[in-house]
Each structure stands twice: as structure tokens, then as C-alpha cells.
Amino acid sequence: MMEKFKYPVTLITLLVYVQSIKSEIPLAPALYVFGDSIFDSGNNNLLPTLAKAGFKPYGSNFNGGATGRFTNGKTVADFIAEFLGLPFSPPYLSLRGSLKLTGLNYASGSCGILPYTGNFIGKCLHISEQVDLFQRTVEQELPRQFDDPEELTSYLSRSIFLISTGSNDYVNNYLQANIYGTSKHYTSESFAKLLLDALSQQFQRLYRLGARKVIMFEIGPIGCIPSLKKQLRQNGLCVEEYNHMAVIFNNQLSDMLKNLTSTLQGSAFILGHAHWLGYEAVTNPSTYGLMDPISPCCITWANGTSACIPELVPCRNAEKHYFWDGYHLTETVYRVIATKCFNGTSVCIPNNISELVEG
């Protein structure tokens, strides 16, 4: 290293150089992403489904244009990748050639925890199928990149695993009584338990495959989604009955994550406690620099309650909107969630990501 300098070398010059090298080293070796359309970065582009976002105006504020992200710009996973010093985790189904050691994205829009959630829209990857693909990655693909199995184990234990799933099990299942009969057979409490029992099994699979640092985000305030409000002809800000269903799930999720951390040695299952933030941004939008917490920014099918209509010009001030389309949020809201999860004390608990990577 010293050969790069012309003598004499001052201490300050050396410290600046060392710091510049350090800043280029990622805080974690990889970011693995699972979930639904909140995190999908293009997997659904390659699946036979109506749930796609690979066209304008999606990606209007994203450097790569319309990639399959269901928003105008970056997702929470994208921001966290940047904060970690990593490239965006590419969609697994788009991989061609060599494997990306900096992480992969298995998320799939319209899917959820239960295998049949969202299947009326087309084929998507539910959480068990996503873990299946990760298992293939760990058992068949990653070993080719590591000479020593212990190196692979260390790599996985230091990687960050980001998950957001469950909302579609309500939006595209439980609350679709004309398509599924789920709500006739389960109360809100028993349905939440059904989901979390299934989710716990997938978390335990991830642990057995080597995952140790896992962040699972709560279900957001689904009662504030334009699509659901329209179905009930609700004129207020939110359908509180639906938000209460999400809270029931989130409370059980918190307990489940604590139990996994205490029983699975060396693990840290972190709660992405963001439901309150999403609700506050709707009810007190000015706190987050928002002006419109109700209307989608893009022009959508079904009078503002569905996906963006292809190629139509969206609103000019997307950064002032909460919703991008009839279901999904704007990059502005995702940035706030990711930032508070990475550095704050109120979203990702009991540890934020900057603390997690040091552990």
C-alpha cells in the first residue's frame, strides 16, 4: 500500500487513503430479497401473470427505466442495498451466466405466504417457492464460487436477508370473498395464525440453509389502499377494519420473530415495524413532505384503483404522493422506511441494519 505514495507521507494523507479504501468495502457480503410486489425487481416479467410492471410509467424516476419494479423509482430493498454499499439484487429469474455473489432477488408480485394466494391473476412465486429457489442457489450454485464450505457458511451468516410478504394473503385472498372462501372458514385471528405458522416454517428453512440476519417487514395499513377503499365505496382516508386485520397479523409476527431468535442459535430475526409509519404518512402527510396521501400518481385502470395504464404520463410531482398506483407506494415513502430501518430506532427492532451488520 505504501508504494502508492510519494514520500514523505503524512499521517493525515495515510488516514484519508485508508478511509477511502474502507468506504468501498460493503458492510455485508450480500443482500438476499424475498417477498411480493413491494420488493419484486423484475421476476414477474418472466412469469405468465397479469401482475407486471415492466412498462412505462413504472420506473419513471428509476435510472434503469421500467424494470419490473411496481413503483416510480427505487424500492426499500434498493435503498438498503445502496446503504450497505452493494449493487441492487438482480431478479433471480433473469440470471444469465455467472451467479451474483452480492445477492439475489426472489420476490414476486401478487403472491404471498399461502400457495394459492393471487393465483387468479396468473403464475407467481409464493414464499415457499422462493425459498426453494434459494435452496437451489445454496446447494447447487454458490458452492461453485467457494473453495471452502466454511467460507460459504461465513458468507451466508454475514449476509442480510430482507423479506416482505403477507399483505397479498389479505388483499388477493382473504378479502376476495367472491374468489376465495377463506374468510368464511377463518376469523381474523385464526387466519393470521395460519399465515404465521406457514411463514415460520420458511424462516426455519432459511436458517437451516445458512441465513442468520433476517429482517421481516410488517404488513402495512392495507385499509388505506385505494383498491380496497374503492371496493367498499369508502370516502375516508382508510378502512380501519382492514387495518385492524393487519395489526393482528403484525402482533403475532412480532412474537414469532422473538421466539425464532431465542430458539435458533446465532440468529437475529428483526421486525420491520413500519405499519405505524405508513399509517402516519397517510393521516399526517405533511410530516413526510407529502401533499396527496389518497390519489395514485399514475393514471390507473378502474378509476384509480388498479395498475398504471401503460405509457400514460403520470403526475409531475410523484415525490409529493403516497401512492404510485392503486396498490403500491412511491419511492419517497420507500426511502423513508429504508432510511429509518437502516439507521433509526423506531422501524427495525430490536436492531437496525447498521447495528445488525456489526454483530
Catalytic center residues = 37, 325, 328
* CA atoms of 67 and 257, how far apart (whole Å): 32
* CA atoms of 359 and 349, how far apart (whole Å): 14
For residues 271 and 353, the answer to whether their CB atoms sit within 8 Å is no
* CA atoms of 211 and 158, how far apart (whole Å): 8
Of 103, 138, 132, 121, nearest in space to 37 by CA: 121
Taking the alpha carbons at both ends of the chain, their separation in whole angstroms is 29
Radius of gyration of the chain (CA): 21
For residues 84 and 27, the answer to whether their CB atoms sit within 8 Å is yes
Contacts of 322 (CB under 8 A, 6+ apart): 281, 282, 285, 290, 292, 293, 294, 329, 330, 332, 333
